[in-house]
A and B are shown apart, each in its own frame.
Chain A
């Protein structure tokens, strides 16, 4: 990011007066007025319906948190690749987008307490061996979403496999069905409610054990700007409140037949 900022600085300093034109309203957010980013193409966590209205588990959780914080919130959909830069640029105050807590991300944002467990699983053709260890998948092709925790996990541990990176989970699923990759790896719940329910998935199944911890993340957290301690404590308090009064489980039950934490 530093390069981008320096480029921008030099452009501005070089006298690009037009940058000044892009000055919008100076928004000093009043306390109790928050903007929350979610991803928007990741059903059932966050997605837009045919009317363009944001829906999903993350969106419901975000609304519930706002209610507990007694805050007025605006929830915006933001492309994944720009979601952390947008937080740092103060475009919004927190990210509720099923974001996995990782060391790498911790260097750029502060995370709330865990608000969801993450389990990753491999998916492949029915009947393939249950062993999905790096040794067993040597020379095999594996599809994964670029920038995801599973992508980091594969890059580190499956060096002898042919790892293919995709911009979206759907693109990896399409290539699995088309036979261009033999395995895909991603979030188990996402596969469970999405890909595994499609007719294309009838010849495919989960393979291997639940994968979690380490590079695969310490669950999901709500991201706030680094050093925004006030925001963080409000979010954590609200989180504890919706866990305690059953709101969290009620929201989860709307989407899944199992608990997320």
Chain B
């Protein structure tokens, strides 16, 4: 800790904030992803259009702009709509921005996974007398989830590192804390190396969780 000139505590606080941002964004983003996927596969042309537009816009725009749009654009828009100044919470704005981004990729992953389950599985389930919902829930989704797990996990790790862009609107996450520590101590190499180590530990833990889930998901397939 001495090597960090007492800034170890600040870096850990930043790491906690990073994990909180990532965890909340993962939950909300998965919801956005499910919603996006459902719209993309919907029977309604309008719904499909909105679903694909969401994915196209978010995937095509730098995440930094999404953060700016939600945080600064959002507060100006709300001020215009309500006629008075509205403070937007940094954490919530960050989570919404990260979740919008994560959701766009998650929607594509989910759509790909659902479409890769052979149509015959659905037909077989239906011919056994299962309702459409039962067929989806008990036959199609478990198989799709297994396919989606690896890319979904991959995207989650990207999300963990992506949290650093929220520092731009004032979130005290790990990269911001490292910048502050290197500004105060003039030892950027030490501070950013420490931050890199913390990121590695976090992504390492996430990878272990993913491997465990993948093993669990493939039990039924005997491999």
Contacts and interface: CB of A to CB of B under 8 A. Distances in A.
B186 interface: yes
Contacts, number: 150
Contacts of A69: none
Interface stretch (A37-45, A132-140, A216-224, A249-257): A37-45
B86 A24 contact: yes
Given A49-B184, A86-B72, A22 B88 contact: yes
Interface stretch (B115-123, B149-157, B164-172, B210-218): B164-172
A8 B5 CA distance: 41
A164 to B, nearest CB: 16
B87 A24 contact: yes
B188 A23 contact: no
Given A11-B69, A22-B88, A170 B188 contact: yes
Interface in A99-122: none
Contacts of A85: 68, 72
Most buried by A among B7, B10, B183: B183
B182 A41 contact: yes
Q: Which of B68, B79, B93, B96 has the most CB of A within 10 A?
A: B68
Give the interface centre of A21, A43, A85, A89 by most chain B CB atoms within 10 Å: A89
A5 B69 contact: yes
Nearest to B93: A22
A79 B73 contact: no
B84 A28 contact: yes
A41 B87 contact: no
A41 B71 CA distance: 22
A194 B72 contact: no
A90 B72 CA distance: 9
Interface string A22-53: 11111111000000000011110001111110
A143 to B, nearest CB: 14
B89 interface: yes
Given A8-B70, A8-B77, A28-B85, A21 B92 contact: yes
A41 B85 contact: no
A78 interface: yes
B222 interface: no
Chain A's interface: helix, strand, loop or mixed, by majority? mixed
A88 interface: yes
Interface string A71-100: 000001111011001101111000000000
B89 A40 contact: no
Given A1-B72, A4-B73, A8-B77, A86 B180 contact: no
A261 interface: no
A156 interface: no
Interface residues of A, number: 51
Interface string A238-259: 0000000000000000000000
Contacts of B78: 12, 19, 23
- Interface residues of B toward A: which range? 35 or more
Interface string B55-99: 000000100011011111111111100101111110011001000
B176 interface: yes
Nearest to A170: B188
A173 B183 CA distance: 12
Contact of A7 (B13, B69, B88): B69
Contacts of B84: 26, 28
Given A4-B65, A8-B76, A27-B85, A22 B184 contact: no
A48 B180 contact: yes
A9 interface: yes
A168 interface: yes
27 contacts: A5-B77, A7-B69, A8-B70, A8-B72, A22-B74, A22-B93, A23-B86, A24-B88, A26-B82, A26-B86, A26-B87, A29-B85, A41-B180, A42-B183, A43-B183, A48-B183, A48-B184, A76-B170, A77-B170, A79-B168, A79-B170, A81-B168, A85-B72, A88-B72, A88-B76, A89-B76, A168-B179
Interface of B: 5-7, 9-10, 13, 28, 50, 61, 65-66, 68-79, 82, 84-89, 92-93, 96, 100, 167-170, 176, 179-184, 186, 188-189
Given A170-B186, A194-B186, 12 more contacts: A3-B65, A5-B76, A8-B69, A8-B72, A8-B76, A12-B77, A22-B70, A47-B184, A48-B181, A51-B10, A52-B13, A89-B72
